[in-house]
């Protein structure tokens, strides 16, 4: 396909996808006058950079791009969690953008610049960005490779990008239903309201034991009670799903470095096979990517999506195992710690963590101004406890 033909195809798909989201703006979260509830460290520059680099960033000012902001739920968090950052949000749907602007104006007093722009046209934006967020977008484009490259070109050296794309194994039943709805729509394919109506009729008509119906009822039905969610899942005109092999081929073509999955507990073979020593021994020689593929094959229903960070240039974490390096560091309590102040909090993967008395005293005092050596002396915490808090992303070091 010639470059001009591919460009025309991309535009045609973009226009169709925009029409879906003009019909059903997504996500359909209600508008409120309150700041967004809770935390999502992936949308905090400090939290995300700490996860990727093992330390806090020393950049005095940052620029953030929300590439495919939809109705602004992600943009709202980016504004709330990154005071003083310059934030730009782009989307192809005027209807969704209108909701996003109202959402942010009401809940966080603006704080972002919105542009009606495809991520393929990100080169029209001025300058580069330290953090690019693109969640649930690239898999809906006609050319994810070109889309990722367009974003990579706008990422500043040393910057990071958070991506969320669909996984084919965990969405197997969804893919079958998408095709079934399309077949029954026939000439009405592209009429998204008709697609929602016929899709709901199919589910209601299938036997209770049917695999597609059971998966919908067990996993998706609560959110899909809203037509916007049902349409996004089952009548979307464009979707490309990934597996581990195609995912890394795609990443390799971007010129960016893979930092890691932002939900690492999913990728624990030890947890999955219950620490079986023979299986772990046999898996030991596998490359990192083959190990990921093994986990994906053994736990397919959990692989509904991939969420991960990329960086422009390799990020090398400090050696916090060196006592001298750790003692000289300054500590800052995570601002994305759910449950604080308390001796029981959630870590970055929303797992319960019970803190010792010394750890509570340490986190209370960790405001970024004192060194670990000073805090050890004043709170009685041990260096191993500090390392554990750092691993759980409860304290950020610089």
Instruction: Give the pLDDT of residue 280.
Output: 96
What's the mean pLDDT in 166-186? 98
What is the pLDDT confidence band of residue 105, given thresholds at 50, 70 and 90? very high
Q: Are 363 and 389 in contact (CB under 8 A)?
A: yes
The pTM of this model reads 0.96
Q: List CB contacts of 47: < 8 A, sequence separation 6 or more.
A: 41, 81, 334, 335, 336, 348, 393, 396
Gap between the Cα atoms of 33 and 39, Å rounded:
17
**Quick one: 141 and 57 in the same domain?**
yes
Residue 318 counted as domain residue: no
**Quick one: 117 and 217 in the same domain?**
no
Where does a domain end: 261, 280, 311?
Answer: 311
Where does a domain end: 186, 215, 234?
Answer: 234
Q: Are 303 and 241 in contact (CB under 8 A)?
A: no
Instruction: Give the pLDDT of residue 69.
Output: 98
Q: Examine residue 341 and say whether the peptide bond preceding it is cis (omega within 30 degrees of 0).
A: yes
**Quick one: 69 and 148 in the same domain?**
yes
Measured between alpha carbons, how far is residue 396 from residues 190, 202, 362 in Å? 48, 50, 12
3-state secondary structure the chain: CCHHHHHHHHHHHHHHHHHHHHHCCCCCCCCCCCCCCCCCHHHCHHHHHHHHHCCCCCCCCCEEEEECCCCCHHHHHHHHHCCCCEEEEEECCHHHHHHHHHHHHHHHCCCCEEEECCHHHHHHCCCCEEEEEEECCHHHCCCHHHHHHHHHCCEEEEEEEEEEEEECCCCHHHHHHHHHHHHHHHHHCCCHHHHHHHHHHHHHHCCCCCHHHHHHHHHHCCHHHCHHHHHHHHCCCCCCCECHHHHHHHHHCCCCEEEEECCHHHHCHHHHCCCCHHHHHHHCCCCHHHHHHHHHHHCHHHCCEEEEEEECCCCCCCCCCCHHHHHHCEEEECCCCCCCCCCEEECCCCCEEECCHHHHHHHHHCEEEEEHHHHHHHHCCCHHHHHHHHHCCCEEEC
Q: List CB contacts of 277: < 8 A, sequence separation 6 or more.
A: none
Gap between the Cα atoms of 242 and 73, Å rounded:
24
Gap between the Cα atoms of 307 and 161, Å rounded:
11
Instruction: Give the pLDDT of residue 37.
Output: 83
Residue 316 counted as domain residue: no
Gap between the Cα atoms of 128 and 6, Å rounded:
26
What's the mean pLDDT in 334-351? 93
**Quick one: 135 and 269 in the same domain?**
yes
- Specify the long-range contacts of residues 209-212, CB closer than 8 Å, at least 24 apart: 211/173, 212/173, 212/176, 212/177
Output the domain CATH number for residue 156.
3.40.50.150
Instruction: Give the pLDDT of residue 304.
Output: 98
| Mean pLDDT of the chain, nearest integer | 96
What's the mean pLDDT in 337-363? 95
Measured between alpha carbons, how far is residue 170 from residues 166, 178, 200, 320 in Å? 8, 14, 21, 37
**Quick one: 151 and 104 in the same domain?**
yes
How confident is the model over 252-300, as pLDDT tens digits?
Answer: 999 999 999 999 999 999 999 988 999 999 999 999 999 999 999 999 9
**Quick one: 225 and 283 in the same domain?**
no
Written as six digits, the tokens of 245 are: 């092999």
Number of domains in the chain: 3
Please state the length of the chain: 398
Instruction: Give the pLDDT of residue 275.
Output: 87
**Quick one: 15 and 118 in the same domain?**
yes
Q: 135-149, 337-351, 372-386: which has the minimum mean pLDDT?
A: 337-351
Residue 191 counted as domain residue: yes
Does residue 1 have a pLDDT over 80?
no
What's the mean pLDDT in 25-38? 93
Give the domain range for residue 379: 323-397
User: In this prediction, what percent of the chain has a pLDDT beyond 70?
Assistant: 100
Gap between the Cα atoms of 156 and 128, Å rounded:
5
Residue 111 counted as domain residue: yes
Residue 224 counted as domain residue: yes
What is the pLDDT confidence band of residue 2, given thresholds at 50, 70 and 90? confident
**Quick one: 10 and 123 in the same domain?**
yes
Q: Are 358 and 385 in contact (CB under 8 A)?
A: yes
Gap between the Cα atoms of 143 and 9, Å rounded:
9
Gap between the Cα atoms of 32 and 138, Å rounded:
28
**Which is nearest to 166 in space by CA: 144, 190, 139?**
139
**Quick one: 98 and 206 in the same domain?**
no
Instruction: Give the pLDDT of residue 235.
Output: 98
**Quick one: 227 and 279 in the same domain?**
no
Residue 379 counted as domain residue: yes
**Quick one: 34 and 176 in the same domain?**
no
Q: Which residues pair with 192 in a beta bridge?
A: none
How confident is the model over 216-251, as pLDDT tens digits?
Answer: 999 999 999 999 999 999 999 999 999 999 999 999
**Quick one: 272 and 357 in the same domain?**
no
What is the pLDDT confidence band of residue 4, given thresholds at 50, 70 and 90? confident
Where does a domain end: 285, 311, 337?
Answer: 311
Return phi, psi of residue 159, to 5°.
-80, 170
């Amino acid at each position: 396909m010639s470059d001009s033909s591919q460009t025309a195809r991309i535009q045609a798909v973009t226009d169709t996808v925009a029409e879906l989201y003009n019909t059903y703006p997504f996500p359909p979260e209600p508008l409120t006058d309150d700041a967004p509830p809770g935390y999502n460290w992936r949308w905090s520059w400090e939290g995300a950079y700490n996860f990727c680099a093992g330390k806090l960033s020393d950049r005095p000012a940052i620029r953030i791009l929300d590439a495919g902001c939809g109705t602004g739920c992600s943009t709202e968090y980016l504004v709330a969690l990154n005071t003083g950052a310059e934030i730009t949000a782009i989307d192809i749907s005027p209807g969704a953008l209108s909701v996003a602007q109202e959402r942010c104006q009401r809940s966080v007093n603006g704080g972002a610049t919105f542009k009606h722009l495809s991520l393929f046209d990100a080169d029209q934006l001025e300058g580069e960005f330290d953090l690019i967020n693109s969640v649930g977008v690239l898999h809906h484009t006609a050319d994810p490779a070109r889309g990722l490259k367009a974003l990579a070109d706008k990422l500043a050296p040393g910057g990071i990008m958070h991506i969320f794309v669909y996984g084919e194994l965990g969405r197997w039943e969804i893919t079958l239903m998408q095709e079934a709805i399309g077949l029954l729509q026939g000439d009405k394919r592209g009429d998204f309201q008709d697609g929602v109506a016929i899709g709901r009729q199919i589910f209601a008509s299938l036997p209770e034991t049917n695999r597609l119906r059971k998966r919908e009822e067990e996993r998706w039905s609560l959110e899909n009670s809203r037509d916007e969610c049902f349409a996004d899942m089952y009548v979307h005109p464009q979707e490309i799903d990934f597996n581990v092999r195609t995912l890394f081929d795609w990443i390799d073509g971007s010129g960016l470095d893979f930092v890691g999955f932002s939900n690492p507990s999913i990728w624990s073979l030890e947890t999955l096979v219950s620490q079986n020593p023979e299986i772990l021994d046999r898996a030991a020689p596998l490359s990192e990517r083959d190990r990921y593929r093994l986990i994906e094959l053994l736990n397919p229903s959990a692989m509904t999506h991939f969420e991960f960070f990329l960086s422009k240039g390799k990020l090398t974490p400090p050696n916090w195992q060196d006592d001298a390096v750790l003692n000289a560091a300054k500590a800052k309590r995570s601002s994305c710690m759910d449950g604080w102040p308390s001796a029981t909090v959630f870590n970055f993967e929303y797992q319960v963590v019970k803190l010792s008395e010394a750890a509570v005293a340490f986190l209370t005092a960790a405001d970024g101004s004192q060194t670990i050596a000073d805090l050890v002396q004043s709170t009685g915490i041990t260096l191993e406890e500090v390392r554990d808090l750092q691993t759980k992303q409860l304290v950020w070091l610089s």
